[in-house]
Amino acid sequence: MTDIAMIEAARLRLDGHVRRTPLLSSPFLDEMAGRRVFVKPECLQHTGSFKFRGAWSAISALDPAVRARGVIAFSSGNHAQGVALAARMHGIPSVIIMPFDAPRMKIENTRAFGAEVVLYDRAKEDRDAIGAQLSQERRLTLIKPYDEPLVIAGQGTTGLEIAEQAAELKIDKADVLVPTGGGGFLSGISLALAAKAPGFSANPCEPEGFDDVTRSLQSGQRERNASMSGSLCDAIVTPQPGEITFPIMSRLCGTGIVVSDDEALHAVALAFSRLKIVVEPGGAVALAAALFHGSQLGPDVIAVCSGGNIDAEVFKMALDRHPL
Residues interacting with its own copies, by CB under 8 A?
Answer: 16, 19-22, 24, 27-28, 41, 43-44, 48, 85, 105, 108-109, 112-113, 168, 269, 272-273, 275-279, 308, 312, 315-316, 319-320, 323-324
The nearer residue to its own copies, 28 or 120, going by C-beta atoms, is 28
Measure the CA–CA gap between 9 and 3, rounded to whole angstroms.
Answer: 10
Angle CA(140)–CA(97)–CA(99) in degrees, nearest 5? 170
Measure the CA–CA gap between 85 and 102, rounded to whole angstroms.
Answer: 18
The nearer residue to its own copies, 74 or 113, going by C-beta atoms, is 113
The nearer residue to its own copies, 112 or 129, going by C-beta atoms, is 112
The nearer residue to its own copies, 184 or 307, going by C-beta atoms, is 307
Tell me how far, at minimum, the Cβ of 71 lies from its own copies, in Å: 18
Q: Is 248 helix (H, G, I), strand (E, B) or coil?
A: helix
The nearer residue to its own copies, 9 or 322, going by C-beta atoms, is 322
Are 288 and 306 a contacting pair, CB within 8 Å? no
Largest Cα separation within the chain, whole Å, is 56
Tell me how far, at minimum, the Cβ of 314 lies from its own copies, in Å: 11
Measure the CA–CA gap between 316 and 268, rounded to whole angstroms.
Answer: 10
Nearest Cα to 175, choosing from 139, 219, 134, 205? 205
Tell me how far, at minimum, the Cβ of 252 lies from its own copies, in Å: 29
Measure the CA–CA gap between 126 and 133, rounded to whole angstroms.
Answer: 11
The nearer residue to its own copies, 44 or 195, going by C-beta atoms, is 44
Give 189's contacts (C-beta < 8 A, 6+ positions apart).
Answer: 155, 156, 158, 159, 162, 176, 178, 202, 304
The nearer residue to its own copies, 36 or 293, going by C-beta atoms, is 36
Tell me how far, at minimum, the Cβ of 274 lies from its own copies, in Å: 8
Tell me how far, at minimum, the Cβ of 324 lies from its own copies, in Å: 7
> Which residues pair with residue 99 across a beta bridge?
120
Tell me how far, at minimum, the Cβ of 108 lies from its own copies, in Å: 8
How do strand 36-41 and strand 300-305 relate by DSSP bridges?
A: parallel
Instruction: Identify residue 207 by its one-letter amino acid code.
Output: P
The CA-atom distances, in angstroms, between 133 and each of 94, 97, 128, 141, 145 are: 15, 12, 9, 11, 17
CA dihedral 108, 111, 113, 115 (to 10 degrees): 150
The nearer residue to its own copies, 120 or 272, going by C-beta atoms, is 272
Kindly provide the residue ranges of all beta strands, DSSP E only, lying in 66-110, ordered along the sequence: 71-74, 94-99
Tell me how far, at minimum, the Cβ of 310 lies from its own copies, in Å: 9
Tell me how far, at minimum, the Cβ of 113 lies from its own copies, in Å: 7
